[in-house]
Structure 1
Amino acid sequence: MRIALHTRVRSDRIEEYEAAHQHVPPALTAAIRAAGVSSWTIWRSGCELFHLLECEDYSRLLAGLKDLPVNIAWQGRMGELLDVRHDYSAEGVAAGLPEVWNL
């Protein structure tokens, strides 16, 4: 399944956000893959961040990562940099952007 998400980086933290993503912890990327993600891409336009995930089951992904220490640490770091965060709660399953058109 494809999931599109929107988050927002703080305008004064863009460089830090991009630098952090040059060094995503290998334990986190391994956990993301183990939770069924085959790809995750993030694009930035100004402060707006757009994510596209290819995963087996988005609710399973969130449940698998929500309480994982490496993800908690990463989300804590991202929380310092973002105005709008990725929601790992049960309600976050519905946070995906609605698809309007697809070719």
Structure 2
Amino acid sequence: MTITITPAASERMRQFLAGTPEAAGVRFGVKRTGCSGFGYVVDLADALGSDDQLVNVDGVPLIVDAKSLALVDGTVIDFQRQGLNASFVFHNPNATGECGCGESFTVG
């Protein structure tokens, strides 16, 4: 499994982890949502689950559950600021389409 985190995303994740030192890492995965099928999940994880895979990406402990592995393999996670808005942005080679608002994606 390969996931890339840009320097901006890495810095943001490190800030989250520094504020919650008891966190096991950053959870990255997908859930069924939106009009296209899947939405991304980025959150702090309290602990590793039995089906989780822990990957150290540029010093950031990234936790991915088994159901999400194939859907996020190859994804580049970025963090962008536009005016007052800031968010993680995902470049996923597995996504074959997105909804109009960009909140969810489909896979082929």
Normalized per residue, the structure richer in strand is: 2
The reply to whether TM is greater than 0.5 is no
Structure with more relative contact order (C-alpha pairs < 8 Å, separation 6 or more)? 1
Query: Structure 2-normalised TM-score?
Result: 0.30
Normalized per residue, the structure richer in helix is: 1
